[in-house]
Chains A and B, each alone.
Chain A
Amino acid sequence: MNRVSMEAFTHPLAVQELASRQDLSAEAVAQFIDEHTFPLVEGTSITFLYRGRADAVYLHQWIYGLPSAQPFHRLGDHDVWYLVQEIPEKSRFEYKLEVVQGDQHRLIQDPLNPQIARDPFGANSVCHGAGYEVPDWTEPDPEARTGRIERMIVQSKALGGRRMVSVYVPARFRPDRRYPLLIAHDGGDYLKFSGFKTVLDNLIHRLEIPSMIVALTHPRRRLREYADHEPHAAFIAEELLPALEFTYPLIDVDDARGLLGASFGAVAALSTAWRYPGKFGRLFLQSGSFAFTDIGPHSRGPAFDPVVEFVNGFRKNPIAVSEKIYLTCGVYESLIYENRSLLPILQGTGMEVKFVESRDGHNWENWRDTFRGGLSWLFPGPLWMVYE
């Protein structure tokens, strides 16, 4: 996947035809912009366009392997800049534009693209490559009954102080029924940035997963607590789990109990399961920050020191910590190497592992898009038996 020259295309792209016009008028340029949506997807070619005064414009996209800043070309002497990129089908990635004027560098969302994705740091523009569609099960379904989010406070000796936990309670909850449990790290972010509640409502409505309780945790010192932190594991297994079991009717078997996490959250999930093997029969690990070294130091910064130590140790003495693991990673993430490396090690322990790659980056909508496959594999619903 590389930036390509205009000459490389057999069939001219829309912007190529525009650029080839003689005496290109401002009206023609304005008409072109009005008649298209941007980024303009033509097969695997994607045209980004910026209109406005600038000395230079760059595309900053979170795709590992590509230059982090790619320059736009100016369209004639108009205040219009464009860039064509080749992107494989079914890709989705997030980006921003850097607009340079004099010594000012502004990093902005693409003004011509209404698609944005939010994350804890703000919002990015989103590019949907050819063939990518936002899954329909991520959109609110008026036919789906909706669950509710409750709050519970857990007094934690392990972490010190009180911890607030959000709890998803499914629609038509009944105290006389028993439910599977999933504990989600970074639960607040999953709710805000991955539409997790809507997804749960929809998948339960579609019978693809059972009605289940989902505990959504909110870390305070995330990079510390999630980096193979023994007190965190103790909090999850010895404090939160019993509190949930006391409050909600849960199925008391390990295959009805799971941990979910993305990035450092995935490290926390694996680390917790490793410290309490067999306690959590289902692990859903998304884009785990499973950094390791075969020799020498790592280069990911000090926050990763305990992670590398943990992953190195796990790679040296891998053990079965759960029954089933659903492992996902985007191919546009630097972590794809670490996750691919982890796969045979996990499989070698005898655990049942499913690994799924997506053409996406390290972001919350990538993780959202893998929910259906992961949750329905780890917690299959009564789809085949129920016809209401």
Chain B
Amino acid sequence: MRQITLLGPQRLEPTLIQAVRAQNISGKIATVTAGWQEREDEDRELHEHLESRTINLRLYDRVSRIFEHDPGLRDAFRTRQDRLKELQRFYRIRLDHVLQAARELVAIDEQSDLLDGHLASAIRDLQLLDEEHLENVRRIHEHYEHEVDPGGRDEVRRQRDEVRAILTDCDALAIAGGHVAILLNRLRLLDIPTASEGKPLFLWSAGAMAMSERIVLFHDSPPQGQGNPEVLEAGLGVVGGVVPLPHARRRLRLYDRSRVALFARRFSPATCVTLDEGSRVDMTDTGWQSTKGTRKLLETGEVKELSA
């Protein structure tokens, strides 16, 4: 298994360099800051933090250039994104109702085998809806790939080759957070999972989400709406068995046992891991090691240290 490190947010108290040193990485480090969108190149602090050893792959800029060279691909991409947004909207409407039933059941404080059965079914309903959504998303992607064949297009091939060449010279890849869908789309179009195969990975916030198996959007206290966690789509699947939860302290009501329990049960068997400032999970062949304060959501509604 390749070495993968998940980290908490890096803006205020960066800990990336400690993680890099812990893995004895002394060479160049490729970085992806495409989630920052047009601020992609505002990476001086990151560069300095990593002892000026970074090379930014500039995926946001590369994809912009691909679209400039290949308007047909751009249009097909936009059409796909519109379809995905529409799909997400319909999924959200159904999710609201299914989730509400599960919430009401999980909030009942009674010992009853009948209640347990209904709650289990309600959670299964949720999981089925999520799975159906993932399948619908997959079909849209499949159709797009079949119709457009992005990997076979000249400018995409050229950019992929450049990225692969840069990565060959680097000892590791660090992927920052930002806009998770924009980041995911850039990583996918430039085939970063293949190009970075075997390289140690350092991932934080949306970077961790995009490389996971399933991207879960979440916020328990948004200014509008119920704060229903929702599946966006499958991630790139490089990080298995984890639902990364960046800024969990700020975004989740971790004291609310009902919500925590429901979250953990819905996404089981994956482990829902909080990634706050200072969090770190080193994933290796022998298992996971994490820093204090990196926690997991339990099906009991508790939130416990990941390494405990």
Contacts and interface: CB of A to CB of B under 8 A. Distances in A.
A295 interface: no
A387 B176 CA distance: 9
Contacts of B230: 384
B206 A387 contact: yes
A388 B219 contact: no
Interface string A278-295: 000000000000000000
B235 interface: no
Interface in A174-188: 174, 176-177
A208 interface: yes
A37 B187 CA distance: 58
Contacts of A385: 179-181, 217
Contact of A383 (B11, B177, B206, B219): B219
B224 A377 contact: yes
B179 A386 contact: yes
A372 interface: yes
Given A386-B178, A388-B11, A372 B223 contact: yes
A387 B224 contact: no
A353 to B, nearest CB: 15
Interface of B is mostly: mixed
B233 to A, nearest CB: 12
A251 B222 CA distance: 25
A12 interface: no
B209 interface: yes
A350 interface: no
Contact of A384 (B176, B177, B219, B246): B219
Contact of B209 (A143, A380, A382, A387): A387
Interface string B166-180: 000000000011111
A176 B60 CA distance: 15
A387 B246 CA distance: 7
A376 interface: yes
A176 B38 contact: yes
Interface of A is mostly: loop
A384 B206 CA distance: 11
A380 B36 CA distance: 19
B157 to A, nearest CB: 28
Interface string A189-233: 000000000000000000010000000000000000000000000
A76 interface: no
Given A386-B180, A387-B177, A387-B180, A208 B205 contact: no
Contacts of A372: 223
B200 interface: no
A388 B205 contact: yes
A380 B223 CA distance: 9
A172 interface: yes
Given A176-B38, A387-B246, A382 B224 contact: no
A144 to B, nearest CB: 11
B12 interface: yes
A373 interface: yes
A382 B179 CA distance: 8
Given A387-B246, A387-B247, A208 B223 contact: yes
B181 A174 contact: no
A143 B250 CA distance: 13
A230 B66 CA distance: 49
Nearest to A381: B223
B39 interface: yes
A208 B222 contact: yes
Contacts of B181: 385
A376 B223 contact: yes
Interface string B15-57: 0000000000000000000011011000000000000000000
B179 to A, nearest CB: 5
Interface of B: 9, 11-12, 35-36, 38-39, 176-181, 205-206, 209, 217, 219, 222-224, 230, 246-247
15 contacts: A143-B12, A373-B224, A376-B223, A377-B224, A383-B222, A385-B180, A385-B217, A386-B35, A386-B180, A386-B206, A387-B180, A387-B205, A388-B9, A388-B35, A388-B206
